[in-house]
Amino acid sequence: MVDKSGRRSFIKGLGAAGITALAMPVMAQTNTESAANIKWDKTADVVIIGSGFAALAASIKAKQLGATDVEIFEKMPYFGGNSAINGGLFAAPNTPLQAKEGVKDSIDTMVADQLKSGRGIADEPLLRHIASHAAEALQMTIDAGAEYHPYLQQLGGHSVARTYQTTVSCGAGITQPLLKYSQKLGVKTNNRAKFIGFVQDDNGKVIGVKLLTGHHFEDPNSGKVTYVKANKGVLMATGGFAQNIKLRMAQDPTLTNEVGCTNIPGTTGEAMLEMFRLGATPVHLAHIQSGPWASPDEGGFGYVSNYSIFNFPHSIAVNLQTGRRFMNEIADRKTRADAELRCRDEAGKPQPPIMITSYEDAMEHPTCKKVLKYKVGWKFDSIADIAKHYGIPAAELQKQVDEYNQYVRTGEDKQFGKAMAMAHGKELRAPFTVVRLWPKVHYCQGGVQINTNAEVVDSLTGQPIPGLYAAGEVAGGIHGVSRLGSCSIPECLVMGMTAANTLMNA
């Protein structure tokens, strides 16, 4: 299990700095090294790899629990990972806003919603642990300076409105305050520091990491080999692998490089793979989620994603061929992404469907202005204009709108059984806004198996790997087949805090 290939002495022999890093590609074996012949460059209490929600929450908690040196190592030139570009949507049960809006909710209800979307293979103890501490995590972000819209949203697959959103409609509204707070508490944050392997002691305990410092992402092997000792433990908070096309296609060959992706470039998964080499249990790697609210008219998550998420409850999604709806606009993500992928022209080529929203309702959310301004969404005066512009059968489209407005009035969607509570009083009426929809690879449900202490479970023994912890998207199996929107933020924050707790009490 432990590599003693003597590569280090080779590196030493080479001497000249700068060339060392280029020697990396020859490595094929595990990158794990034994402690015996290591010269540590640095020592810390807690070593955290990654700088998103999970990492930041853990660093703050570790400091609060009295850790002296906490070091964050991030391979990218900037901090925050996917968390810094995320939609800022945060689900939690039993919150102050739910009390204010009179929403009846419970930990059980949130877990039940998630289990349903998980289609029987989600991890109930973990979901329960997270839901139980979600409101606490929310408060932690508010204490650090995060600000939220004064209303809740009801996202696809959630049976009630329980989702907060930052006022900037972005996860940066959380990562920026957390990063500053973390640095204020004395956490040392290092960018351009790529994790490439573990160091174990003779008993198999993880006691440190091997990094490439001064790393430039464009050149995967760049940087200086640096060894950091971790007195209390190593937390892997390295996110998903949606940008690793080879790896995602190995799991799901349909996710080719032609499928867009919402993630930062750094979600390439090598840290997860290194944990597997160490013995971590792989779970649900093939369950890779595509976001049904994304737009083919902009890169990544862009503006349309948040726009659609907000508007889906009181909008219709329409197939251009038929002029008809083709899905429950607030079904879970997988249901919707699969339905969108079936929207094709006569030749079978992708034909992105459109979402139609009343302009007045869309303007309730700040992203509407952005969508129009940056020409990734358009305003129309009538249904006839929309039909003409997109080549939709006009009579069919008008009929569909009339039928749907009937569902709004009666509160019952006879076509797809959509929950109509949030659409109450919001009939489709001119003028309209329209965006185009096409799924993008978004989230990895799979990763390393962890328990409710955020310990990484060994695949052979079923026991925690000593000294090793994981939290956030890199942990797998929690959500099962399809994660519900806004459930990653609570997961990352709660499990980050949990990891710090376990690690500081180990």
Partner 1 sequence: MNKLTLVLAIMLSGSLAFSAQARDQRDYHEMVYDSGCKTCHDQGIKNMPSDQACSQCHDIDELAVTTARQGDEEWQNPHNNLHYGKEVPCTECHGEHTPKQVLCSNCHTFEYPKHK
- Residues that are catalytic: 333
Indicate which of ligand FAD, partner 1, none lies near residue 44 (CB less than 5 to 8 Å, by partner kind).
none
**Distance from C-alpha of 199 to C-alpha of 459, rounded to nearest angstrom:** 19
Q: Can you say how many angstroms the Cα of residue 219 is from the centroid of all Cα atoms in its chain?
A: 25
In whole angstroms, the minimum distance from the beta carbon of 372 to ligand FAD comes to: 21
Alpha carbon separation from 255 to 89, 139, 250, 290, 319 (Å, rounded): 25, 37, 9, 9, 23
Indicate which of ligand FAD, partner 1, none lies near residue 214 (CB less than 5 to 8 Å, by partner kind).
partner 1
263, two tokens: 């993630």
> At 321, is the secondary structure helix, strand, or coil?
coil
Nearer to partner 1, 85 or 481 (CB): 85
Dihedral over alpha carbons 398, 401, 402, 403 (to 10 degrees) = 120
Nearer to partner 1, 230 or 368 (CB): 368
339, two tokens: 């339905």
**Residue labelled with tokens 């862009």:** 302
Our finding on whether 78 is near partner 1 (CB under 8 A) is yes
**H-assigned helices in 19-146:** 53-64, 96-101, 107-117, 124-144
Alpha carbon separation from 495 to 229, 271, 273, 465, 502 (Å, rounded): 23, 18, 20, 17, 10
List of residues contacting ligand FAD (CB under 6 A)? 49-55, 73-76, 81-83, 85-89, 171, 194-195, 237-239, 262-263, 266-267, 270-271, 301, 442-443, 472-474, 486-489, 492
Indicate which of ligand FAD, partner 1, none lies near residue 349 (CB less than 5 to 8 Å, by partner kind).
none
Per the CB < 8 A criterion, the answer to whether 360 and 429 are in contact is yes
Our finding on whether 170 is near partner 1 (CB under 8 A) is yes
Q: Which of 1, 19, 99, 250 binds partner 1 (CB under 8 A)?
A: 19
Question: What sign has the CA pseudo-torsion 359, 364, 369, 370?
Answer: negative
- Any residues with CB less than 8 A from the CB of 42 and at least 6 apart, and which? 71, 226, 227, 228, 229
The span of 92-100, 139-147, 227-235, 367-375 binding partner 1 (CB under 8 A) equals 367-375
Q: Maximum distance among all alpha carbons in the chain?
A: 78
**Distance from C-alpha of 255 to C-alpha of 440, rounded to nearest angstrom:** 9
Nearer to ligand FAD, 311 or 486 (CB): 486
Residue nearest to ligand FAD (CB): 52
Nearer to ligand FAD, 72 or 207 (CB): 72
In whole angstroms, the minimum distance from the beta carbon of 308 to ligand FAD comes to: 12
In whole angstroms, the minimum distance from the beta carbon of 406 to ligand FAD comes to: 32
Nearer to ligand FAD, 298 or 413 (CB): 298
Residue count of the chain: 506
Indicate which of ligand FAD, partner 1, none lies near residue 26 (CB less than 5 to 8 Å, by partner kind).
partner 1
Nearer to partner 1, 121 or 245 (CB): 245
Our finding on whether 300 is near partner 1 (CB under 8 A) is yes
In whole angstroms, the minimum distance from the beta carbon of 159 to partner 1 comes to: 31
Residue numbers 245-264 binding partner 1 by CB under 8 A: 264
Nearer to ligand FAD, 191 or 453 (CB): 191
The span of 114-122, 234-242, 329-337, 365-373 binding partner 1 (CB under 8 A) equals 365-373
Closest CA to 329 of 428, 240, 431: 428
Please give the residue ranges that form the binding site for partner 1 (CB under 8 A).
Answer: 10, 14, 17-19, 22-23, 25-26, 77-80, 84-85, 168, 170, 172, 176, 191-192, 214, 216, 264-265, 298-303, 366, 369-370, 374-376
